[in-house]
């Protein structure tokens, strides 16, 4: 069977399985991607602890290291709904649209079915992935003509904008490649200007240590200026996608995803009081469940600080005595934001028992700020 005929059958079967977009590319090394990652590391846009080593970088950018006999890649995407959740307001924290359900797992299941079809139909070897952190999916999607890079560094498709998750099937089947999509953002820089923390210093480059999307899933101290811009985010950030013109006209999707559905928002009271066992149960099939529970609790503290909700104040005060220094540090800041000058007694009380030098220094700074106000 010719490559063109095989490609046509793969597209048809993919559409039957509910895969929203399919493109084909060759399996050559992603040389430009490697150069871009190395440049981002050298400029400090990727923090040292997140920078891939030589072996990891090679696997990220060399599809052949994942399937020795590879000849082609079937790149795919699945669109997800991205509307504002129904339950919002000061008592709720918002979950970014891409992780309100495990769309990656859903796409991977569809791709595994498609791979099985390919195995049966053509007798080829295949490997199916989605959200595969050791292979660079976005440049593969661009190369396969599924979309182009937005200035915020995400892939934008013609039909569904950037509200998509990516996956791929590696195969030893020789398929006809698609041309890259001839499109770009032109002079538009709405996403760059809208980023609340200025995490897009130039088109297509993201400074991870200033990106709320990145920070919301990592265990670390959130810089003070970024805490001030956190708003009601509980996990993730979609501001740069929310304002993108391509997403305003995207085709709407509505499909039930059985994997890891957590909804668009969570009551902050629940997030502040959830123990580790309940966290694992609630998020066991969602990407959030791969994170440390304390990370979500820290995010909830920041969202509560911006809520102005008196009902949440006792819960945040309780967390100023948490065994985890990360939780204590952010909770003390939150009390300062929520109570203003009247937070002084709580801050001084914490200062009298705190042992962590960095927390002591920050609380002293917070108190100095209160003295300036008075």
**Structure confidence by residue, pLDDT tens digits, 2-55:** 778 899 999 999 999 999 999 999 999 999 999 999 999 999 999 999 999 999
Contact (CB, 8 A) for 220 and 324: no
**H and E: helices and strands count for the chain:** 17, 9
The overall average pLDDT reported for the chain is 94
Is the predicted pLDDT of residue 374 greater than 60, yes or no? no
161 part of a folded domain: yes
The CB density around residue 253, as the number of other CB atoms within 10 Å, is: 15
Q: How far apart are CA 6 and CA 238, in angstroms?
A: 37
356 part of a folded domain: no
Position 5 scores a pLDDT of 87
* Tokens 């390919």 -> residue: 118
Picking from 188, 185, 146, the residue whose alpha carbon sits closest to that of residue 165 is 146
* Tokens 């696997």 -> residue: 59
Q: How far apart are CA 132 and CA 126, in angstroms?
A: 15
Total count of domains within the chain: 1
Backbone angles phi, psi at 170, to 5 degrees: -90, 140
What are the distances in angstroms from CA 358 to CA 158, 222, 326, 361? Answer: 48, 13, 10, 5
272 band by pLDDT with thresholds 50, 70 and 90: very high
Q: How far apart are CA 75 and CA 128, in angstroms?
A: 10
262 part of a folded domain: no
371 band by pLDDT with thresholds 50, 70 and 90: low
Q: Which of 68-82, 102-116, 145-159, 245-259 has the lowest mean pLDDT?
A: 245-259
DSSP three-state, residue 126: strand
pTM to 2 decimals? 0.93
For the chain, give the number of residues. 374
Residue 103 structure tokens: 């769309």
Residue 10: domain span: 3-80+100-171
131 band by pLDDT with thresholds 50, 70 and 90: confident
Position 373 scores a pLDDT of 55
118 part of a folded domain: yes
Q: How far apart are CA 137 and CA 187, in angstroms?
A: 26
Q: How far apart are CA 79 and CA 103, in angstroms?
A: 8
The greatest distance separating any two alpha carbons of the chain, rounded to the nearest whole angstrom, comes to: 81
19 part of a folded domain: yes
Q: What is the mean pLDDT of residues 251-261?
A: 87
Contact (CB, 8 A) for 264 and 87: yes
DSSP code of residue 206: -
- Residues 142-160: tens digit of each pLDDT: 999 999 999 999 999 999 9
109 part of a folded domain: yes
Backbone angles phi, psi at 76, to 5 degrees: -145, 160
222 part of a folded domain: no
Is the predicted pLDDT of residue 191 greater than 70, yes or no? yes
Query: Strand locations in the chain, DSSP E?
Result: 21-26, 72-79, 92-95, 126-130, 148-149, 155-156, 164-171, 233-235, 265-267
135 part of a folded domain: yes
Q: What is the mean pLDDT of residues 354-362?
A: 96
């Amino acid at each position: 069977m010719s490559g063109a005929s095989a490609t046509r059958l793969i597209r048809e079967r993919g559409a039957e399985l509910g895969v929203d977009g399919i493109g084909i590319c060759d399996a050559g090394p992603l040389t430009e991607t490697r150069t871009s990652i190395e440049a981002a590391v050298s400029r400090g846009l990727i923090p040292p602890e997140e920078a891939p080593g030589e072996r990891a970088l090679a696997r990220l950018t060399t599809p052949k290291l994942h399937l020795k006999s590879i000849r082609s890649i079937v790149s795919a995407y699945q669109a997800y709904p991205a509307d504002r959740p129904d339950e919002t307001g000061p008592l709720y924290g918002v979950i970014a649209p891409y992780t309100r359900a495990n769309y990656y797992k859903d796409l991977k299941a569809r791709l595994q079915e498609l791979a099985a079809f390919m195995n049966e139909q053509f007798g080829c070897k295949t490997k199916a992935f989605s959200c595969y952190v050791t292979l660079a999916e976005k440049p593969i999607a661009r190369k396969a003509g599924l979309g182009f890079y937005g200035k915020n560094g995400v892939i934008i498709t013609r039909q569904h904008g950037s509200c998509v998750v990516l996956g791929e099937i590696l195969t030893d089947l020789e398929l006809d490649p698609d041309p890259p999509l001839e499109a770009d953002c032109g002079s538009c820089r709405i996403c760059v200007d809208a980023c609340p923390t200025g995490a897009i210093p130039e088109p297509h480059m993201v400074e991870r240590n200033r990106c709320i999307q990145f920070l919301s899933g990592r265990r670390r101290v959130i810089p003070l200026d970024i805490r001030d811009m956190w708003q009601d985010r509980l996990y993730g950030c979609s501001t740069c996608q929310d304002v993108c013109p391509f997403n305003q006209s995207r085709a709407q999707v509505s499909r039930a995803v059985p994997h890891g559905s957590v909804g668009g928002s969570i009551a902050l009271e629940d997030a502040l009081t959830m123990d580790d066992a309940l966290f694992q149960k609630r998020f066991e099939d969602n990407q959030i469940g791969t994170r440390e529970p304390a990370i979500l609790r820290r995010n909830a503290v920041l969202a509560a600080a911006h809520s102005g909700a008196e009902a949440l104040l006792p819960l945040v005060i309780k967390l100023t005595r948490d065994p985890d220094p990360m939780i204590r540090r952010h909770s003390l800041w939150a009390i300062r934001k929520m109570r203003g000058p009247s937070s002084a007694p709580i801050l001084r009380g914490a200062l009298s028992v705190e042992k962590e030098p960095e927390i002591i220094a920050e609380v002293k700074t917070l108190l100095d700020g209160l003295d300036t106000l008075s």
